[in-house]
Amino acid sequence: MSIRELLIASSSQSNNRTFIAKSSGSQVVVYEWKRSGLVTQDTLTISGVNFNEVAFSPAEDSIAVYDQGNTTTYIYAWNKDTGFGSVIDSLSGYRLYADKPFSPSGDAIALYKNSDGATYIYNYSSSSGVGSLIDDTTGTASRIIKFSKSGNYVLATQGNSTVHIIDWDVSTGLGSTYFHPSSIYGSRYGDLSKDDSFLIVAGESSNGGLNIFPFNGTTISSSSDTITLNCSIPQSVEINDRQNLVLAGVADSTASPYHHIRAVPINSNNTFGTEFSISSSEDDLNTPDNARFNSTGNIIVFTQISNFVVQKISPSGFGTEIERDTFGGLSYADVLETA
């Protein structure tokens, strides 16, 4: 079997539990997706805060959330059977800027420091919280946006553009940096495939679009394929674990309705298939953010101003909408799939 086939096989298990965390205003809510739909597992409510960014630890024992009002990141204990526990740690002046701030094994966390605009990577454990500093991006103009799925790299941007790959190891920190050909203006969102073989970035231009760049561990080559999305404002990019579908949160402030969520198949030769059609109910929502797959790739979660949506997806297109709620303020979400 090829690496791609192995990834597809390992992502096809159906006995996992899927949890979704949503944060907005004074609340963080964790749902579990069951056959009957979404069931609220637990709710954390703290008056006087403005929670937005939220992230599960892949170690399945913690949830980090950023309070924008008080510019503080809080990390809470979490259990898949009992829900929220006590505060493990809190860090004033640090933000969860990264889409995936925890390393895949949960032993490190990347935090953006508001005062100097750099990302700091610390050791982390649920028993002792944020530990010693491993590395940081001060003096490099790089800002980490996520750990790669494999855990071998981090993805970062410089300023508001140029997604690039940086070697990563929890023992030695950050290593060599690899840039893609600078042919896409404003490519500040992207994702690396689970087997580290290709990078997809979203460009900010009059037509918007996605580009695939093959990666061999030392070089990001010229783009093998491009697809236009007719959207000028990218918000997020995620490749599913099977590596056969990419999800992009995009918007166009000049158009009505705004284009919201885009899903495009990825062929085995690193080319794009035909973009999935989308219902009008998703096409007229406001600027989207942090679109996510669960690990088996059969649901997606996305958020935007006043809406939180969970929807089924398959290799043939968008499926049934499972959940939508409406409330004031920008919301954020994350997905964790457990055994």
Residue 320 burial class via C-beta count within 10 angstroms: exposed 0-12, middle 13-18, buried 19 and up: exposed
User: CB under 8 Å, gap of 24 or more: what pairs does 251-259 form?
Assistant: 251/286, 251/287, 251/288, 252/208, 253/287, 255/230, 257/283, 257/284, 257/285, 258/283, 258/284, 258/285, 258/286, 258/287, 259/229, 259/230, 259/231, 259/283
Phi, psi for 181 (deg, rounded to 5): -55, 130
pLDDT of 308:
84
Residues 134, 121: Cα–Cα separation, whole Å: 6
Q: For 22-32, how does the pLDDT look when each residue is reduced to its tens digit (9 = 90+)?
A: 988 899 999 99
pLDDT of 171:
97
- List the CATH number of the domain containing 9: 2.130.10.10
Query: Between 2 and 172, where is the model more confident?
Result: 172
Residue 172 burial class via C-beta count within 10 angstroms: exposed 0-12, middle 13-18, buried 19 and up: exposed
Q: How many CB atoms lie within 10 A of CB 124?
A: 28
**Angle at Cα 267 formed by Cα 265 and Cα 271, nearest 5°?**
95
Which DSSP helix (H) or strand (E) runs through 247? strand 245-251
Q: For 142-156, how does the pLDDT look when each residue is reduced to its tens digit (9 = 90+)?
A: 999 999 999 999 999
Dihedral angle computed from the Cα positions of residues 228, 231, 235 and 241, in that order, rounded to the nearest 10 degrees = -30
Q: Which residue has the tokens 């920190």?
A: 173
Residues 154, 165: Cα–Cα separation, whole Å: 6
Residues 248, 262: Cα–Cα separation, whole Å: 5
pTM: 0.91
Residue pair 231/250 in contact (Cβ under 8 Å)? The answer is yes
Joined tokens for residue 47: 């008056």
Q: Identify the domain containing residue 52 by its residue range.
A: 3-338
3-state secondary structure of 206: coil
Residues 70, 50: Cα–Cα separation, whole Å: 8
* Number of domain units in the chain: 1
- From start to end of 99-172, where are the E strands? 108-113, 118-125, 129-136, 142-147, 153-158, 161-169
pLDDT of 264:
95
Cis before 257? omega within 30: yes
Sequence-ordered list of residues with C-beta below 8 angstroms from that of 36, at least 6 positions apart, any chain = none
Q: For 261-313, how does the pLDDT look when each residue is reduced to its tens digit (9 = 90+)?
A: 889 999 999 999 999 988 776 666 656 677 899 999 999 998 877 778 899 99
What per-residue string of b and e applies to 243-267 under the rule 16 or more CB within 10 Å gives b? bbbbbbbbbbeeeeebbbbbbbbbe
Number of H helices, E strands in the chain: 2, 26
Residue pair 195/243 in contact (Cβ under 8 Å)? The answer is yes
Joined tokens for residue 190: 């992207």
Mean pLDDT of the region 196-207: 83
Q: How far is CA 12 from the centre of its chain?
A: 21
Phi, psi for 271 (deg, rounded to 5): -125, 160
DSSP 113: E
Residues 301, 308: Cα–Cα separation, whole Å: 8
Joined tokens for residue 70: 């008080």
Q: For 215-274, how does the pLDDT look when each residue is reduced to its tens digit (9 = 90+)?
A: 999 999 887 798 988 777 788 899 999 999 999 988 776 666 666 788 999 999 999 999
